[in-house]
Amino acid sequence: MRKAVRCSAHFAVISMILAHSVFAAETLPAGIGYKPGVRPPRPGTVTITAIQSNKVRYDENENATAKVTLVNTSHRPYRGKLIVLMHVDLDEPRDITRTEFAVGSGETATWQFSYNVGPETYGRGLEVRFVDEDGVLVDAWQEYFGVAAEWFRIQQHTYAAPNRLYDVNSWVTYRNHAHYFAHEPTDFGVHPAGAEIYLSGQTGYRVNQSARQAQMDFLRNRGVKFTFYQTFAFCGQAGYEEMRKHPEYALYDENGQPAVDPIYGGHPNPMELASPLETGPKRRTDKPWLDRAYTPWQHCAANLALDEAVMYQTRCIKKYAEELGFDGIYIDGNMGVLRGFAYDGTPNVPSGQPNEFAKLSARNHRLFSGGLKQDDPNFGTWFNWGYRSIEWAIRMGLTHTIGSGTGARGDVGDENVRAATAWNNVMLLDETGSFLKSPDAPKPREFLSRLVEQRDFAVQKWGASTIIGYSFVAPHVTAEQPGPSKWGWATLNCLGAQLIATQVHYAAGFLPSYRPMLQFTTRYSSLLWAPDIRVLPAEQTSVRVSAPDDILWQELVYRRETPEGYDLLVHLVRLPPTEHWDIRRVDEPEPLKGVRVNARLGSDELRQAQVIRPFQFEEEQQTVQKELEGIPGIDGVSVEVPPFRYHSLVVFRVRS
């Protein structure tokens, strides 16, 4: 099988001259000593054990450096040449650089080189080959990274905690985005705390500002982007102080009291309002009876029907992001208007009509995004806006999602979501919680339906990016030890197949079993997450799939226009054998053989057919890519798909 070396936060192998190189999958011992991102030296030869780019995400046309490590375990020295290729899109190899190189017997040698990542957005595969003096290919290896100033397009958002078994840096996890949930002094009207260590407004986290800043500075040098958290509610002492200064910005109940946040709830306790914000050792305690930590989860909603409140929030976020070095903002919800009363006691939306809420919410998103993105079009705006949550929110009396264009009861028009997504670098979150643990979690086939709905809403209709999360699977599986299930490998790779095929990014805690998906989506993001990839409705699909087992593909066929014609993208997704997601499942399925894909092309001509997929547990940690032979027939052209366990993407490159 031709193996294009693999990718992720987180690239195919090519031949020495112009064609691709061909590698057989190398097997590993069943889980013993397995480490994500680690390639052990092969015995008796030279092995490229690592390719370390200086970043995991670059802007287009940015200069980059990379370090290559080679280990010679043989009893003789090797001399030859190192050749560097860069792979773009499906398979566009570019010769980057080459050098004479030697490595002695039993030695480890390194080489560093510089290059430009090029103008294209999306994933890259950086391949290094070592060719000996006789022109024989001794070894080849690839690593992967993303290129996008509009960085939500390639967002990889999988967290990892340090452990004793393997490294969890950004090159292992492919993470290129870090988010600080509920870390700020208030969730509305945010300002720097002016304190060494402070309690965050919503959750009461002890935030060490200097330590967080050092962490951000460190990761920023790796190309990681940062967002912070806000809602539509004042909270914490900093928030209550802003509310005291601007009572007109708050939303009120009919009785004249500040409106409780409809999701998180909780009036502030007046006995806690004077508690000190500063919790660090530099603070003097002059009034010990006030030296207390306030109770978290107390919020007072803002009145976003008032455009001055919207502009106030926008100015605060912009200034805060500039001072602390953030690249985007996550709004837990959106900038839509909640129903309530203004400071003068009148209804904040006098008509109370749904279309008026939609109109005002759309105005808010124009003011908000226009203000934040004026100086930087790629400042990220990230909203909690899942397709399945819209009807629930409206049913619960929450009006901020009215105008989402879903046709749900109580929803009218689409101007709200249209205004929010009419900008660069917008991400919509479908928040599900830890569905892999929940007893009422959707079954795998139902979960795919949810992903398809979110894809069609956020990506296909509005051109935004979309992500689902957060899902943390412990205590069933630990991140440190593989256990019998190899970090839930069988189930999580079934899950990854669905995410890959539906254009949905994933927010979760990192496990090595996520790495095949993260690597694949990093390398081939241009074929997965680009806004010009359009899903083909079933009635327009000229594709047929035959397989000896159940395969999902009918809603997973896409078309992308190219200068020569178009690419037809056919995702093949296997379901787990269990009715529910079973993270403790041990046995992996046998690779499925005998799958054929037929495409009716009419008078168009097939230029090339390729299949790509994530690596499997026993294989090298590289994406797998192989050219397929197209067999013409009466009803189009067909290809036979090599055996696979979880997911394969067949790409027909067609000349019109």
Given a contact cutoff of 8 angstroms between Cβ atoms, the answer to whether 169 and 221 are in contact is: no
Q: What is the mean pLDDT of residues 583-610?
A: 95
Cα–Cα distance, 277 to 297 (Å, whole number): 16
Residues 172-215 have pLDDT tens digits of 999 999 999 999 999 999 999 989 999 999 999 999 999 999 99
552 pLDDT exceeds 60?
Answer: yes
Q: Please enumerate in sequence order all residues whose Cβ is within 8 A of that of 637, keeping only pairs 6 or more positions apart, or say none.
A: 598, 599, 601, 606, 609, 630, 631, 652
- Is omega for the bond preceding 343 within 30 degrees of 0, making it cis? no
Nearest residue to 537 via CA among 562, 566, 559, 567:
559
pLDDT exceeding 70 applies to what percent of the chain?
94
The residue with greater pLDDT, 364 or 276, is 364
Inter-helix orientation angle 307-324/354-372, to 10°: 30
Return the DSSP state at 249. G
Q: Calculate ∠ Cα 113-117-119, nearest 5°.
A: 155
Calpha distance 391→405 (Å, rounded): 11
Mean pLDDT along residues 499-519: 96
- Is residue 526 helix, strand or coil? helix
For the chain, the C-alpha Rg in angstroms (whole number) is 26
DSSP state of 201: T
The string of pLDDT tens digits covering residues 265-288 is 777 877 787 777 888 888 877 777
- H-helix or E-strand containing 447? helix 444-454
Residue tagged 């999988």 (tokens): 158
What average pLDDT does range 38-54 have in this prediction? 97
More confident residue, 381 or 91: 381
Q: Which among 394, 416, 431, 564 has a CA at the least distance from the CA of 508?
A: 431
Q: Domains in the chain, ordered, with CATH?
A: 534-655 (2.60.40.1180)
Which pLDDT band, with edges at 50, 70 and 90, does 623 fall under?
Answer: very high
Task: Give this prediction's pTM.
Answer: 0.93
3-state DSSP call for residue 449? Answer: helix
Least confident window among 108-112, 182-186, 578-582: 578-582
The pLDDT score that the predictor gives to residue 16 is 29
Asked whether residue 455 carries a pLDDT value surpassing 80, the answer given is yes
Whose structure tokens read 């309530």? Answer: 340
Cα 258 from Cα 273, distance rounded (Å) = 15
Say if residue 408's pLDDT is above 50: yes
Q: Are 276 and 289 in contact (CB under 8 A)?
A: no
DSSP letter string, 136-165: -EEEEEEEEEEE-SSGGGG--EEE----SS
CA atoms of 139 and 70, how far apart (whole Å):
10
Mean pLDDT across the chain = 91
Residue 32: band (very low, low, confident or very high) from pLDDT cuts 50, 70, 90: low
State pLDDT tens for residues 221-257.
999 999 999 999 999 989 999 999 999 999 999 999 9
Q: Indicate whether 510 pLDDT > 50.
A: yes
Q: Is the dihedral of CA 508, 513, 518, 524 positive or negative?
A: negative
Distance of alpha carbon 21 from alpha carbon 9, whole angstroms: 25
Mention every residue, 6+ apart, whose C-beta is less than 8 A from residue 423: 369, 373, 377, 381
pLDDT band, very low/low/confident/very high, at 439 (cuts 50, 70, 90) = low
Q: What element of type H or E holds 28?
A: none
Query: The tokens of 563 are what?
Result: 């200068």
Residue 607 DSSP SS3: strand
- Per the CB < 8 A criterion, the answer to whether 53 and 171 are in contact is yes
What 3-state class would DSSP assign to 380? strand
* pLDDT tops 90 at residue 450: yes
